[in-house]
Amino acid sequence: MALLEIENLTFTYNAAHTNALENISFSVGRGEFVCVCGPTGSGKTTLIRLLKREISPAGSYSGRILFDGQDIRQIDERTAAAKIGYVCQKPEQQIVCDKVWHELAFGLENLGLPNEAIRRRVSEMACYFGMEDMFDKRTDELSGGQKQLLNLASVMIMQPDVLLLDEPTAQLDPIAAAEFISTVHRLKTELSLTVIMIEHRLEDALPLSDKVLALENGRLKLFGPARAAAAELAVSPAFRDALPSALRLWGRFDIKSEPPFTVGEGRAFIESSFSNRVRALTREAYSHSDAPALEFKNVYFRYDRNGADALKNLSFTVYEGEIFCILGGNGSGKSTCLSAASALVKPYAGQIRVFGKKLKDYKNQTLYRNCLSLLPQDAQTLFLHNTLREELDGVDTQDLPFDLTPYYSQHPYDLSGGQQQLAALAKVLDTKPRLLLLDEPTKGLDARAKHEFVRIIKALRSHGVSVVCVTHDVELACLMADRCAMFFRGEAVSCAPAAGFFADSSFYTTAISRMTRGYYEGVSTLDEAERICRLNVK
C-alpha cells in the first residue's frame, strides 16, 4: 500500500482567483525518493506544504491527502508532527535554539518526552550524523552546510516516515550540497525513509531519484519513473534548463538511447553516438582593454590580529569592460576580496586601485558615487521600505535591461528570490557604477532566473560596465565570464581567459568539460558540446 496518496487535490489561496494547484493525483510508496521539479510559481512549495499539516498555507482545498491510509486532517497531532518531517531552504532561519544539543532535543521536548529518553535519542542521532565534535557548539558557529545537516538531524530525531524537503541545497555551496543529498540518500536506503524533495539543481539529485514529479502552472505535468520522466523533460523548454548537463546534451539530439544522468553516463553517450574526428572548435582569442578597472597589488588582510590571513599576497587586475569571475571554495577569501575592493575592510598591507586611483584617495564616500557598487550575497540587506515602489523611489529605472513595474505594490520580502535579486540590482545600479561587484549573485535562483541574470549582466557590460563576480557556481562562471581567477587560501592561484581556464582545470570545471575531456579538447559549455557533436555525427 502506498504511504502517501494524493487524490484530485485542488487548492486555492485565500483571496486568490485562480487555483494554485489543480486536480493533482499521485501516490508514493514507502522508501521511495521522489524529486519534484517545475519552474518558479508552478506550485511546488504549495504542494509540499499541504502535505505537512502544521504549516499548510491558508486557503481552501478539495480532494484528499492520505497518509498511511488516513486522511491527513484526521491524524492526531503527535503523529502528524513526528511522522512527517520537513526541511526548508533557509539553513539559518530554521534553527531555533542556541546550542547544537538543544536544537537536536527541540522536537522531542515538544512531544513532552522525559529527559532520559531525549538523552538517548539525541546521542544516537549525533553519532549517526557524526556530530560529536560540534555537539556543544553554538549553532551560529556552524557553516551553512553544517546548519542544514543539523536541521535534517533535528527532524530525523523524531523518527519520521516521510521527509519533505523544500530546495534544501539552494543556499549551500556545491560541496555542502552534494554532502547533504548523499546524506539524504543514505537515510533513504538505510532506514527505507520516503523522501519528497523539491530541487532546482538536479545535477546531484536526479541520479538518486526513483520517481520524478513535474509541475507546471499548478498542474501535474508528469509523474513517473525517473528515466522515463527525464527523457520527456529533456525536450520541454520549461524544464530542460534545470536538468543535469549530460541529459540536456542528450535532449538536443534525436537519438534513441537510455537518457544519461551522470558525467560518466554522459561520456558513454558521447562516445557511443559521436566520433572524435574533429577534436577541437576554432575560437577567437580573447583580448581585454588596457585600462585597469580594479587592481590588487600584494594585498594582505586579516579579520583579527591573531587570526590567519584572509587575503594573502593577493594580486590581480580586472580591465575595463570585462566580466571577471572569481571562483574558489569556502574561506578562500573571495567575499573578503570584494569587501576590500569596496573599502568596507582595510588591508594591513598592499595596495588597491579603482580606475587607477588609490582607495584612500576617494574621500567623502565618492567611491560609492558613479564609481563602484557592490551587490551583496543577501539581497534582503538592501531593502529599507515597505513596498517596492518606495524602495525604488528616485531610482532611474528607464535604462535598466529589465522591468519591475508589475511588482511595485508588493513588499520586497514577498517577491520571489529572482525578483528580489533584480530589485536589489536596480538599487545597486542607481549609483551608476562603472564597476559592479557581485557576491554569489545566483545563489538560490532557479535555472530560468539564472539565465535571465546572465543576460542582464552581459547587457550591462555592453553599456561599458566592468563586472567582478564571486561565485561557487562553475557553470555560471562559464556562461558569463570573460576571464576567471581561482582563489585558494586568500591567494589568486590561477587567472586566465575563461575558455582556457576551464579547459585547464580538471576538477574545478563544468560537467561538460569533465564529460568531454580527452575525447574533445577545450569544450566547456553545452552549446560548444552540441556544436562539436554535430560536427562528429557518425
Residues that bind another protein (CB under 8 A): 52, 54-55, 58, 77-78, 81-82, 85-86, 88, 90, 92-99, 101-102, 105-116, 118-119, 122, 138-140, 151, 154-155, 158, 339, 342, 344, 364-365, 368-369, 372-374, 376, 378, 380-384, 386, 411, 413, 427-428, 431
Amino acid 16 reads: A
Minimum CB–partner distance for residue 256 and another protein (Å): 45
CB 188 within 8 A of CB 219: no
Instruction: Identify which of residues 241 and 430 has a Cβ nearer to another protein in the complex.
Output: 430
Instruction: Identify which of residues 339 and 421 has a Cβ nearer to another protein in the complex.
Output: 339
Q: What are phi and psi of 71, to 5 degrees?
A: -65, 135
Could you tell me which residues are beta bridge partners of residue 488? 491
Instruction: Identify which of residues 135 and 488 has a Cβ nearer to another protein in the complex.
Output: 135
Residues in Cβ contact with 320 at an 8 Å cutoff, skipping those fewer than 6 apart:
289, 291, 292, 293, 355, 434, 464, 466
As a whole number of angstroms, the distance between CA 53 and CA 410 comes to 27
Minimum CB–partner distance for residue 399 and another protein (Å): 18
Minimum CB–partner distance for residue 376 and another protein (Å): 4
Minimum CB–partner distance for residue 87 and another protein (Å): 8
As a whole number of angstroms, the distance between CA 512 and CA 525 comes to 6
Residue whose entry in the numeric block shows the C-alpha cell 590561477: 494
Nearest-10 Cα torsion for 350, 354, 358, 362: -130
Minimum CB–partner distance for residue 441 and another protein (Å): 14
Instruction: Identify which of residues 415 and 456 has a Cβ nearer to another protein in the complex.
Output: 415
Instruction: Identify which of residues 470 and 523 has a Cβ nearer to another protein in the complex.
Output: 470
Instruction: Identify which of residues 294 and 374 has a Cβ nearer to another protein in the complex.
Output: 374
H or E segment to which residue 120 belongs: helix 115-128
Instruction: Identify which of residues 3 and 341 has a Cβ nearer to another protein in the complex.
Output: 341
| Cβ atoms within 10 Å, residue 239 | 27
Residues in Cβ contact with 443 at an 8 Å cutoff, skipping those fewer than 6 apart:
170, 171, 377, 472
C-alpha cell at 297: 597589488
Minimum CB–partner distance for residue 228 and another protein (Å): 33
Instruction: Identify which of residues 311 and 479 has a Cβ nearer to another protein in the complex.
Output: 311
CB 471 within 8 A of CB 465: no
Residues in Cβ contact with 40 at an 8 Å cutoff, skipping those fewer than 6 apart:
416, 417, 418, 446, 448, 449
Tell which residue, 85, 286, 63, 79, has the closest CA to residue 195.
Answer: 85
Instruction: Identify which of residues 294 and 372 has a Cβ nearer to another protein in the complex.
Output: 372
Minimum CB–partner distance for residue 264 and another protein (Å): 37
Minimum CB–partner distance for residue 59 and another protein (Å): 13
As a whole number of angstroms, the distance between CA 528 and CA 524 comes to 7
Minimum CB–partner distance for residue 372 and another protein (Å): 8
As a whole number of angstroms, the distance between CA 268 and CA 9 comes to 41
Minimum CB–partner distance for residue 164 and another protein (Å): 9
Instruction: Identify which of residues 92 and 258 has a Cβ nearer to another protein in the complex.
Output: 92
Minimum CB–partner distance for residue 344 and another protein (Å): 5
Q: SS3 string of 313-376?
A: EEEEEEECCCEEEEECCCCCCHHHHHHHHCCCCCCCEEEEEECCEEHHHCCCCHHHCCCEEEEC
CB 246 within 8 A of CB 228: no
Instruction: Identify which of residues 113 and 268 has a Cβ nearer to another protein in the complex.
Output: 113
